[in-house]
Structure 1
Amino acid sequence: MNILLWHVHGSWTTSFVQGAHRYLVPVLPGRGPDGLGLARTFDWPDTVVELPPERLREEPVDLLVLQRPHEAALAERWLGRRPGRDVPAVYLEHNAPHGRPPDDGTPADLRHPCADRDDLLLVHVTHFNRLLWDSGGTPTRVIEHGVVDPGHRYTGELGRAAVVVNEPLRRGRTTGTDLLPELARAAPLDVFGMRTAGLARRLGLPRDRCRAHELPQQELHEAMARRRLYLHPVRWTSLGLSLIEAMHLGMPVVGLATTEAVEAVPPEAGVLSTRPEALATAAAGFLRDPDAAAAAGRVARQAALERYGLKRFLSDWDALLEEAIRR
């Protein structure tokens, strides 16, 4: 099957393109958001091919995976075919809604851009997302995340907590950036991600309590696994793939009990709570007890392999792609 999709979410796409299909990725001069092309920091197989728009019309595209509202218009212009009408299409929603319901109770801000469509399937990556979005009459499915197993690399040799978040200063409360000072007093933090420079200074933290790192993707897992625990202070997210990757690595998890995290992390794999002080206590406890941290990490890894393994993920997607083709 020839599948056209945009390079929007590098980590998710890395898992998706491990399947038994041919994947066409648009590329534009300058490699902007609508033509990023092949990944440069992730390992993608040779079955992923980047093509400029003028060559897409020559390709026998069997199915589109749309991920942003404007991609349907791009696809129609570049392919000369209407997504969902002339060529099968699914819309993959990565995110939970960020809107706020109006005072009169109508769900306008929670209404999905693809609501009430009969020409495509709307796919959510978590059950929480499907619950929150108002999709109207559009047929919806859930295919939970799957990741390429990085292996059990956990050593926990460094008595610090790993946090993975991009742009923590810009995203603020959404990513729990305001909680980091309190948590850093309990466990020194290593924050990995894009645009993390200056984080300690902006939060008024000593550098030894909060260090920022912008590492290449191929170095990230090794660095995370050396930290004693994975800290997930995010208030509002679909379900961070970094959390699932940390569990695969064998890291214990301390995080906010919000969105889909309560489904992903079993009690024996760490501590989830809506009380920041409880997270601080749990993080400090894992720093004092490396054996308990390693034991929780083993449970986390087994849970991640069972629920978020790549084989299950690809099998679910193959079934859904066949369903979309038959519609």
Structure 2
Amino acid sequence: MDNAAHADQIWNVEWTSSNKVISVSADGTAACCTEKVVLNSVEGTVFLWDLETQGIVAKRETFNREKSGESAFSVSMHPSGGSYASTGNGGIAFICSTGLDKFGEVQSKLTPTRAKFGMCVKHSPDGKYLALSSENGQLSVFDLATQQLSVTYASHAMCVRSLAWSSDSQLLLSASDDKRLLLHDLRTPPPISQGGHPRLGAGAVAAFSGHSSWVLSASLSSDGKLAASGSSDKHVRVWDIGARKSLAVQQHAGEVWGVSWRPILAGGGNTFVTGGEEKAVEWWSAPEHEFMCINKNVSLINLAIRNAISFQDLYRYQYETR
């Protein structure tokens, strides 16, 4: 089923464990945790959205460097809900408070090597690690307990726009402008570092090729057997992780900027959603490696935010499956 309700292109979608799908349009990305969502606008304002009250409860203007450091391009909520991470200009990951009285207050900074711009930041499901991708194709994984850089991967040749963790927090999937998706196994011991430099990862354990242009989004199924990806080539692909091959491909009318699998806690983990230039959220199912659009009754809530800086509408839609 597709829901052509957005007034502009959809930049990201997220399927939450409470069986809700959040999508943001035109100028924001979303990260979900329990009943609250963190999202950011194109010029760097970060919002905390309460799903119960359906309104903004806090915001932080990250483009004000004196207060918040560098402007936020990507955000990720910690699974505990107590903090969020952001990255953007400068390539640094900022760990910030989600407290209503201190929302956006920087608690710590995580600095990778050689990065000038942070493209995507993503917490592992167990909350122990934070993955950060950059404009030069580098991936950095930080240990949040020690606040130290755990491992660096340099497997991509170009910008990495999307990251996805496996449910056990052991595998990290990356999507890049080099038209590939690469799978990294954190259990694979990297080479021993020399001279105190960060350890360079052993590289990818699997590569997935088939897109003819930039890979803009990626997501792993809850059982870790399948992956889905969206691309600027206007196609969605479903991949078999074990067989290392593409199972199905579906053409869209526009670029696909967001894809997210249904969490196992919500049931029916073989279902995922996509969003992009078509201004619609589409629901897909991949039973027995087939690829089909599904039809579900949904409750649509349309909320809009007027941005005081750019005066652009930021739309958030919440779909709740029946």
With the length of structure 2 as denominator, give the TM-score of the two structures. 0.26
Name the larger-Rg structure.
1
Which protein is richer in helix relative to its size? 1
Q: Normalising by structure 1, report the TM-score.
A: 0.25
